[in-house]
Each structure stands twice: as C-alpha cells, then as structure tokens.
C-alpha cells in the first residue's frame, strides 16, 4: 500500500520525462497524457490521504528519501491534484493547436511531481530536491515563449531570486546535521542544539520568503507573469509560490523553538500582506494585480505559521489556491480573446463571456474576503491566532486592502466598456473562439471550491479541519470578529467597485502610486545591491586573473631565460675565471714543489731533518696544549 505514494511522484515525473523527450510524436499526445495523469493522481490521492501513507527509500549515507501524508500534506496533495487537473483540462481546451505542447505539458507534469514531493517530504534532502526542481521548471515555463526578448531574462530573474533564498535551505540542511538531526528529518528540527537551531530556522525562513514572494523578494513574481496564464494559475499563485508558506507551516515547531524566528515570520507576513496589498491596488495590469495580491495573500499564510495558527494557515493556503488559480485562468481566457490584460481595456470583458465572468466574480469576491466565501473564513482563522501586538490590526488593514484590489478587478471586469472600446472588442470577438466546455468545466469547479471552502467558518467544520491537521485546540474566531471582518470587506469592496464602475480606472499619477505600480522598485534595488556589485567583482577578478596572476606566471617563466642569460654573461665567466685561476695556482704549486727535488743527497737529508724537527715541534706544542 505504501508503495502507492511513489506513484504520486513517479508517475507524473516519468510521464513528463517521456513527453519532454518524445519529440514530434509527443506533441499530439501531450495534452491527453497530462489529463490522464491528472486523473490517475486524483484517484491515487484518495487512498494516499485516507490511509496516511508513508514510505522511505535509501538516499545519501545516513539520509533517506522520505515521503509521508499527514494532515497538512493531505491538504497540499488535494490542492495540487485539484488545481493540476483544472489547469490540464483547461489547457487542453484552450491551447490545442499551439506549438511547443510537448515542452509545455512535459514541464507541467514534472512540476506536478516536484510539488507533490515538496508537500509530502519528511526530510530536508527530499524537500530541497523537489523545491529546486520546481524552480527550474518555473524557469522553463516563464521562458516558454523564448523568442520574446524579455522572457529569458524574466525567467532568470525569477530563478536566481528564489535560488538566492534557497541558499537558506542548504544552510538549514547543514545546520540540521550539525545540530543532531542525523537524517535531516523535518520533525527533528525543533530539537536541534544551539546555535544550529537558529541557523536552521533562519535559513528556512529565508528560503520560504523567497519562494512565497515575501518582502524583499516579491519582485520575481512580477517577472514570472511573462509566462503563459495557465502556468501562472498553477505555479505562480496556487502551488509553487505557496510552497514557502506551506513549508513554514510544516516547520512551525522549529520556528517556535528558535524563538525569534516565529515572531519574524509573523511580522514579515503581516508586512508583506500590507505592502503588497497596496502594490496590488495600484496595478493597471490584471496579471500584475493578481501577482501582487498573491504575495499579499500568502503573507497571511506566513503570518499564520509565525503565530502557530497551522489550521488557519492551511485553510488560507487551500482557499487562496482555488480562488487565485481561477482568476488567472479567466485572465488567460480574456488574454486570448481580447488580446489584453490591461484593466482599462478589459472593461466589460465579463459581460461578454458570462460563465467566465461569473466565475471571475466569485473568485474576486472570495479574494476580497466577502462572506460566506472561502478566504473570509480562512483569514479570520488566521487572525484568531494572532495575539502578538499590532498583528491583528495589521491583518485587518491588509484584509481591507484585499477587498480594495478585488474591487478594482471586479469593477474592471464587470464595468461598462467605453463606447469606442466596445466597438473594437466586438470586432475582435467575432474572430475569437468561444469558451468551450473543456474551459468552462475547470472554471466552474474552481469557483465552487473557492465558495465551498467558506464552510470552514462553521465551528463544527473547523473543528474537524483542526483535528485533521493535528491542532485540535486551534483558536476559532468569535462572531464579533467575523462580523467585523465581513463588514470591512463588504464596505471597502463595495465602495471601490462602485467608484470603479462609475469612473473607470483612475488616471491619477501620483508619485506614490507610480512607485507602488512599479512594485516599489524592488527589482532595481536588488540589481543595484546584489547583481551590480557581483558583476563588478567578477569583472575585476577576471582582469586580475588575466593581468596579474597570469602575468606573474608568464613573468616567472620569462624570468628563467633572463636568469640564464645573466648566468651566461656574468656568472659563467667568473666561474670560468675562478677555475682558470685555480688551475694556474695548482700549476704554480707544482712548479714550487719541483724545486726541492734537486737530486743532491745532502739536501734531502737536510730537508728530512727540517721536517722531523717541525713534526717534533708540532707534537710538543700539541701535547702541551692538550
């Protein structure tokens, strides 16, 4: 039975690899294959969730590959299976006949495998592998239209920003081993020895903030919008981006054990929800608005992890996935048919595609926190656990901003189009395809999910949910709080939508608005603070390598002939002269030595006497001295 869990990861991975390498033959089979895999995944997910499967396989020395389905993973698996199925069916209906299908579906399938492994991973090795594969697939899908000059750099910005944050997870893995979690088990991270517990918690917090587009990493999500809309629906809103918040929910005990990390997560999430909510309100491009709102909404998940509200965070994760993937899919429908995602030009789009428009409305109302829809319930669950000072107020303010940007989107979709635009649009719509059943079905399904998850507001449903997640005593919001948040949402969304439908998108161009629209210049700041200095250092070192290091070696080598020349010119004659002088000296000595050999016997006797006398003298002196 437990082997079934490998199918959840292995099947989409294998199918994806086959589709990617299948060449032209795979082009036609790609979409049906993806839908079939989605169906199998949904079917296998049921026993996996019901029986809480778990399995491990040998990996590195002492560290295994571990997958398991617990309450939180059940939420993750179901969310991924549902959104993946919706996106696969939608793409089949919407993208048939386009080029590059094997690449598109192949990457989506590999992504599904990686995301499933991410949510089910029980150790840092498995998690990190799946986590980074998601990033690479995201690169490939953002650069899907690779001929466009901008997509390549957008994909690189997204990949490099998230990988920068991923260094935190590499550090966390090292810290886990050093701190005593020998198999890198996620459940053991809360018991690491100091100071490694702080390194691990901090590293995971950074990695999660990067993936979930929290401040200051949020800008990559704006660039990720260069990918196809269904990709944004699956990766860049519902699942991959949300994985950061999900990870923090999973390692919440480790954050709490490190002390500061939990508080940092809570305030980081609240700050992102506020700031990125404001950024979303200022956008004039639908996908950019949705992207900024993704950062803001996931801020609530991060906040929940920081305050220990795992059940609220998981609810927010699932509800946001349903609502946001729905909104992105509808944005994709309009982009294909109307050729724009500009809010001004989209005016009235919902009226011309009523089913899509109605689904969009449900998604936007849910996003704005309108009761009794899902995100209203989820956000209240998150805020019910937020007891740190200021967090509750910040959360309410962020909810008001959410109602604001939802109102902006809603007004643009359902507002009356300007007369000229109406004419233009009707001209283009005659050529554009209708919204077929394969497109409608996933939209309606996601809309139903975005609405029904509001049932979490019911105490009994919430209790079941909290028990499933293993937090049976999770705090539930009181009726006053729920009424207050509902009132704020309805009032703000109503006011913004009314003003928007009357006046259209405001053309006011204040400086603050421009800064918000440009995502606060975060990307430029990151370039100036990181990319520019690194590139300058790289160029400097390359110049050093060529001009100093290499020269030094060549110089040293060139020194050898110089030295040889010097030796030849100076030392060699001197040595030669010395040798000649020595020879002359020896010859001289030889001539001297010949002189006593006179052949006269009496002179030899005299010499012998002299030598003996000298020897005797030496002997006497030596013995006297010793």
Partner 1 sequence: MLSVVVFLPLLAAGVLIALPRLTPRAVQTTWVAAAGVELVLVGVLWSGYTGGRGSGEGAPGFAGPLAYETDLEWIPSIGSGYHIGVDGLSLPLIAMTAVLFLACAVYSLRARQERPRGYAALFLALQTVSTGLFAALDLLLFFVFFDLSIALMYFVIAGWGHGDPARSALRFFLYTFVGSLALLVGFIGLYLAADPHTFDMVELAGQTPLDGRAVAGGAVLLAIGVGLAVKTPLAPFHTWLPPAHTDAPAAGSAILAGVLLKMGAYGFARIALPILPDAWRAWAPGIAALGAASVLYGALVALAQHDFKRMVAYTSVNHMGYVVLGLGAAGTAAAGTAPQAAQLAVSGAAVQLVSHGLLTGALFLLAGVLHARGGVYDMGAYSGLAGAAPRFAAVLAVAAFGSLGLPGLSGFIAEFQVFTGGLGLAPIPTAFALPGILITAALLLRAMQRLLLGRRRLPPGTAFGDLRPAESAAIVPLLVLSVLIGVLPRTLLDVVAPAAAAVAELVLR
Binding site residues, partner 1, CB under 8 A: 58-63, 125, 128-130, 132-133, 136, 139, 143, 146-147, 149, 151-153, 155-156, 159-160, 163-164, 167, 170-171, 173-175, 177-179, 182, 184, 196, 534-535, 537-539, 541-542, 545, 549-550, 553-554, 557
The C-alpha atoms of residue 353 and residue 435 are separated, in whole angstroms, by: 7
Cβ(340)–Cβ(412) under 8 Å? no
Residue number with CB closer to partner 1 (61 or 590):
61
Q: Minimum distance between the CB of residue 5 and partner 1, rounded to whole angstroms?
A: 17
**Is the CB of 251 or the CB of 493 nearer to partner 1?**
251
Comparing CB distances to partner 1, the nearer of 195 and 339 is 195
Q: Tell me the closest approach of the beta carbon of residue 145 to partner 1, in angstroms.
A: 10
CA distance 399 to 268: 16
CB nearer to partner 1: give 28 or 587.
28
Question: Of 170 and 267, which CB lies nearer to partner 1 in the complex structure?
Answer: 170
Nearest one of 363, 213, 385 to 313, comparing CA atoms: 385
Question: Is the distance from CB of 112 to CB of 235 less than 8 angstroms?
Answer: no
- In the complex, the smallest distance separating the C-beta of residue 251 from partner 1, rounded to whole angstroms, is 17
Cβ nearer to partner 1, comparing 177 with 279? 177
Residues 544-572 as b/e (b if ≥16 CB within 10 A, e otherwise) read eeeeeeeeeeeeeeeeeeeeeeeeeeeee
Q: How far is the CB of 217 from partner 1 (least distance, A)?
A: 13
Please, what is the minimum distance in Å from the beta carbon of residue 178 to partner 1? Answer: 3
Q: Which is nearer to partner 1, 226 or 380 (CB)?
A: 226
Closest CA to 296 of 382, 424, 182, 359: 382
Backbone angles phi, psi at 191, to 5 degrees: -110, 25
In the complex, minimum distance from the CB of residue 140 to partner 1, in angstroms, rounded to a whole number: 8
What is the secondary structure of 431-478 as a DSSP string?
A: HS----HHHHHHHHHHHHHHHHGGGGGSHHHHHHHHHHTT-TT-----
- Assess contact for 142 and 208: CB atoms under 8 A: no
Residue closer to partner 1 by CB (options 196, 300) is: 196
Task: Give the nearest distance from C-beta 483 to partner 1 in angstroms.
Answer: 48
Contact 297, 395 (CB under 8 A): no
Task: Kindly tell me which of 165 and 346 has the beta carbon lying closer to partner 1.
Answer: 165
- How far is Cα 336 from Cα 342, in angstroms, rounded to an integer? 13
d(CA 398, CA 412): 21
Tally: H helices and E strands in the chain: 28, 2
Minimum CB separation from partner 1 for residue 524, in Å? 17
State the minimum distance, in angstroms, from the CB of residue 160 to partner 1.
Answer: 6
């Amino acid at each position: 039975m437990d082997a079934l869990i490998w199918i959840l990861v292995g099947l989409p991975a294998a199918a994806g690899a086959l589709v990617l390498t299948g060449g032209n033959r795979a082009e036609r089979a790609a979409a049906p294959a993806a839908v079939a895999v989605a169906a199998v995944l949904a079917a296998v997910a049921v026993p996996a969730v019901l029986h809480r499967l778990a399995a491990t396989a040998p990996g590195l020395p002492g560290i295994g590959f571990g997958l398991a389905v617990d309450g939180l993973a059940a939420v993750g698996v179901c969310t991924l299976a549902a959104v993946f199925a919706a996106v696969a069916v939608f793409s089949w209906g919407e993208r048939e006949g386009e080029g590059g299908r094997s690449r598109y579906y192949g990457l989506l399938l590999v992504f599904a495998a990686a995301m499933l492994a991410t949510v089910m991973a029980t150790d840092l090795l498995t998690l990190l592998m799946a986590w980074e594969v998601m990033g690479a697939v995201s690169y490939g899908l953002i650069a899907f239209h690779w001929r466009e000059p901008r997509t390549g750099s957008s994909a690189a910005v997204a990949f490099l920003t998230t990988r920068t944050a991923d260094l935190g997870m590499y550090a966390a893995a090292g810290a886990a081993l050093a701190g005593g979690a020998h198999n890198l088990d996620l459940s053991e991270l809360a018991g690491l020895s100091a100071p490694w517990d702080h390194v691990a918690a901090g590293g995971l917090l950074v990695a999660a903030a990067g993936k979930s587009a929290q401040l200051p990493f949020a800008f990559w999500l704006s660039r990720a919008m260069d990918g196809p809309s269904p990709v944004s629906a699956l990766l860049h809103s519902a699942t991959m981006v949300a994985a950061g918040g999900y990870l923090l929910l999973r390692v919440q005990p480790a954050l709490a054990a490190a002390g500061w990390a939990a508080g940092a997560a809570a305030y980081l999430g609240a700050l992102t929800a506020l700031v990125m909510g404001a950024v979303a309100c200022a956008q004039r491009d639908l996908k950019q608005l949705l992207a900024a709102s993704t950062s803001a909404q996931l801020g609530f998940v991060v906040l929940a992890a920081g305050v220990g509200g795992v059940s609220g965070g998981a609810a927010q994760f699932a509800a946001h996935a349903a609502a946001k993937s729905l909104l992105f899919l509808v944005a994709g429908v309009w982009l294909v048919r109307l050729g724009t995602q500009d809010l001004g030009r989209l005016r009235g789009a919902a009226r011309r595609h009523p089913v899509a428009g109605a689904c969009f409305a449900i998604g936007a109302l849910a996003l704005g926190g309108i009761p009794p829809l899902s995100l209203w319930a989820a956000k209240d669950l998150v805020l019910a656990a937020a007891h740190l000072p200021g967090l509750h107020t910040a959360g309410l303010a962020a909810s008001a901003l959410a109602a604001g940007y939802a109102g902006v989107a809603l007004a643009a979709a359902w507002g009356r189009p300007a007369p000229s635009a109406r004419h233009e649009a009707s001209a283009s719509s005659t050529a554009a395809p209708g919204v077929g059943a394969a497109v409608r079905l996933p939209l309606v399904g996601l809309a139903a999910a975005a609405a029904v998850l509001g049932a979490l507001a019911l105490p009994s449903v919430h209790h079941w949910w909290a028990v499933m997640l293993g937090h049976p005593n999770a705090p539930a919001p009181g009726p006053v709080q729920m009424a207050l948040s509902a009132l704020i949402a309805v009032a703000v969304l109503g006011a913004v939508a009314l003003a928007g439908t009357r006046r259209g998108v405001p053309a006011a161009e204040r400086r603050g608005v421009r800064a918000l629209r440009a995502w606060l210049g975060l990307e430029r700041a990151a370039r100036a603070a990181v990319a520019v200095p690194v590139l300058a250092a790289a160029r400097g070192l390359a110049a050093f390598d060529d001009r100093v290091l290499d020269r030094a070696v060549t110089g040293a080598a060139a020194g050898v002939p110089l030295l040889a020349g010097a030796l030849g010119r100076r030392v060699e004659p001197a040595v030669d002269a010395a040798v000649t002088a020595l020879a002359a000296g020896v010859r001289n000595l030889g001539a001297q030595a010949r002189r006593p050999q006179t052949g006269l016997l009496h002179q030899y006797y005299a010499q012998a006497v002299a030598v003996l006398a000298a020897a005797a003298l030496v002997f006497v002196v030596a013995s006297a001295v010793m």
